[in-house]
Amino acid sequence: MSEKPTIREHWSGAWGFILAAAGSAIGLGNIWKFPYITGENGGGAFVLVYLLCIAVIGAPVMICEFALGRHTQRNPVGAFQALSPKTSVLAHLVGIGVLLAGLFLLLFGSWGWSVLLIALGLLIFRYGWTLVGVMGVTAGFTILSFYSVVAGWTIGYIWKAATNQLNFANVAMAKEHFDHFILHPGWAIGCHFLFMLLCVLIVYKGVRSGIERWSKILMPVLFLIILVLIVRSLTLPGAMAGVRFYLTPDFSKINANSVLIALGHAFFSLSLGMGAMITYGSYISREENLFSATLSVVGLDTLIALMAGLAIFPAVFAQGFGPDAGPGLVFQVLPTVFHQIPFGAFWAFLFFLLLMIAALTSGISLLEVVTAYFVDERGWARHRAAVAFGLAIFLLGSLCAISVADWSRLEGLQAVLLKIFGTTKASFFDTMDNLSSNWFLPLGGLFIALFTGWIWGTKHALDEIRHGSSNFGDVHLFSLLAGLKDDPSHNSRIHVVTLASLWGIFIRFISPVAVLIAFLHTVGWLDLRP
């Protein structure tokens, strides 16, 4: 295995890295998506399942990504290239499995997905594990193309709140206004451009002067805003009904489907499988404690997600709305809620500013994934890569915005997508979302776990994690057959289980299986709905 020596910029310290990585994880998924999927899946019980998925699947995979990045000091493509063996039996087996899946889909006439899977299988045979890094960079590019469109909507609503345009007596009026806004591509593209401009300007300045500096500004502001919104929400008459719904578990609502939804969202909310954490990990010095940093990032991400629910559900219940409004909760229900609250325009402004900041901290990490690849592997100057790919993402995102507004403007592209993906509902926006969220992220997480556990090896990964965090391997959780300790004849049967050994079990066995099941369920090949 070869490694490419490189000199690169590092975070100024642990706090800067933690805030930047937490900012990457804390995005629209925490503040927009988490509350509405919680409302759709039973409230408090779903929250507990989500926390369990974060602890046993999300955190172990996250520390893998940090370790891969720091060890190689390279972007996702370079990291896998540096650590990949020339030949890998496991990579060939994965390639065969993907090829068989593609051939299987041919039997059902899904030739578009079939061709993509067959092509992916052949690429795995050709490039091996390096392809995982390529998928990470591609995921960062495609996710930001549609993510920035939604982020642009938040900028538009900040302006609308500031100019007191969100005066809706009911949800129907709010929906009509939102539809009118997104169906006019000029507005959507303009706001999308402003968001991408902000991302480019921050990434342009580099790791310390750009990403870290603005993370240290934006993250405290985000926390302060959400805290203020929680206080206001909890002081509304009838707010406790929302708190009880959110925090009281009803395990009758939990089934296999809701568990897999929680697992999928854990990956999305932690920015796993998209190369962001490998890239940010490559800027960590060897002296930093990866274990404590991972706990801090996961803790902050989870805390903000939980706080978002406390800011939203009490207000929603206080105004007599249901918790299961779906994706329209933020842009349709909440403006109506704010209208019924004294100084509602001010609270709406704060909320959409919160959304925009969360989106921005995630957006810069996605652009950094692409930028780092071209800086590391292609020798581009940072400013050139940031501007060029910021522009490319803006153009691709504009197609997403236009497809949401008016498919008739993209009839040719629509026809191609309908033939390939076999659905009459897939706009270009939906296709980018589906390809990234349902394919790139879970497959990326699956391959990262397999690579760390079976190719790089848990021993080498642990050696890297222990640099600066030697306590990671010394935490004794429990002893199997501990009652035999005093019997010398049975000492060989005593097995001390440490945090490190438990992590190795999860990465090698539990995480890959869980992510694979979630992936198969998400793409519709394994239906576990009740």
| Confidence (pLDDT) at 475 | 59
> What is the C-alpha separation between 268 and 420, in angstroms, rounded?
25
With H, G, I as helix, E, B as strand and everything else as coil, classify residue 477.
Answer: strand
Q: Using the structure block, give the residue that is written with the tokens 């035999």.
A: 484
Q: Which contiguous run of DSSP H or E holds residue 480?
A: strand 476-480
**Buried b or exposed e, range 86-111, using 16+ CB within 10 angstroms:** eebeebeebbeebbebbeebeeeebe
| Confidence (pLDDT) at 365 | 97
Better pLDDT: 282 or 262: 282
The tens digit of pLDDT for each residue in 356-388 reads 999 999 999 999 999 999 999 999 999 999 999
> What is the C-alpha separation between 43 and 488, in angstroms, rounded?
51
> Does the pLDDT at position 397 exceed 60?
yes
Q: Which amino acid type is present at position 294? A: T
> What is the C-alpha separation between 427 and 189, in angstroms, rounded?
16
With H, G, I as helix, E, B as strand and everything else as coil, classify residue 322.
Answer: coil
| Confidence (pLDDT) at 4 | 43
Which domains, and CATH codes, for the chain? 14-84+129-522 (1.10.4160)
> What is the C-alpha separation between 271 and 528, in angstroms, rounded?
25
The tens digit of pLDDT for each residue in 65-121 reads 999 999 999 999 999 999 999 878 888 898 898 888 888 877 776 677 788 788 888
Backbone dihedral angles phi then psi of residue 294, each to the nearest 5 degrees: -65, -45
Q: In terms of Cα–Cα distance, which of 385, 472, 489, 314 is closest to 141? A: 385
**Buried b or exposed e, range 298-328, using 16+ CB within 10 angstroms:** bebbbebbbbbbbbbbbbbbbbebebebeee
Radius of gyration of the chain from its Cα atoms, rounded to whole angstroms: 23
User: Helices 511-522 & 441-450, crossing angle to 10 degrees?
Assistant: 160
> What is the C-alpha separation between 225 and 456, in angstroms, rounded?
42
Q: Which amino acid type is present at position 257? A: N
Q: What is the mean pLDDT of the chain?
A: 86
> What is the C-alpha separation between 58 and 278, in angstroms, rounded?
14
pLDDT, mean of residues 233-239: 93
> Does the pLDDT at position 480 exceed 50?
no
> Does the pLDDT at position 2 exceed 50?
no
Of 288-292, 350-354, 397-401, 479-483, give the lowest mean pLDDT range. 479-483
CB atoms within 10 A of CB 479: 13
> What is the C-alpha separation between 62 and 297, in angstroms, rounded?
9
Q: What percent of the chain has a predicted confidence (pLDDT) above 70? A: 87
| Confidence (pLDDT) at 328 | 66
CB atoms within 10 A of CB 488: 8
Q: In which band, very low, low, confident or very high, does the pLDDT at 34 lie, cut at 50, 70 and 90?
A: confident
> Does the pLDDT at position 414 exceed 60?
no
